[in-house]
A = this chain, B = another copy of it.
Amino acid sequence: MIDFDKIDKIIHEKGRLSIMTLLASRGSWNFQDMKDQLKMSDGNLITHLRSLQNAGYLNKKKELKGRKVTNYFLTSSGKKEFNKYLKILEQIVNQKEK
């Protein structure tokens, strides 16, 4: 049986799931690009980024070339937990075949 209790609530929420998926697909994303890509409001995006950072799943680095830009990237813990999460998704997707 799939253990639904193990679904990480922080990752599972729609907004944060999209952030985690973006960050997993590419090394790093800056605030503006994520905002455009995900069409979230500033306040909502930054709040989700903060929850993920508080969970230790991502970090940021300010880039000083030209305009101020903040880059976000997954920590190794973030990658690990996201992979765990993906394994549960896989089980859900594949369960019919069993």
Spell out A's residues near B (CB within 8 Å): 1-2, 4-5, 7, 9, 12, 14-15, 17-18, 21, 24-25, 37-39, 86, 89-90, 92-93, 95-96
Give chain B nearest CB distance to A31 CB in angstroms: 18
Smallest Cβ-Cβ distance to A12: which chain B residue:
B14
A14 to B9, Cβ gap below 8 A? yes
Please pick, from B5, B39, B89, the residue contacting A92 in the complex, using a CB distance under 8 A. B89
Give chain B nearest CB distance to A76 CB in angstroms: 16
**Across-interface contacts of A4 in B (CB, < 8 A):** 14-15, 17-18, 21, 38
**Across-interface contacts of A96 in B (CB, < 8 A):** 24-25
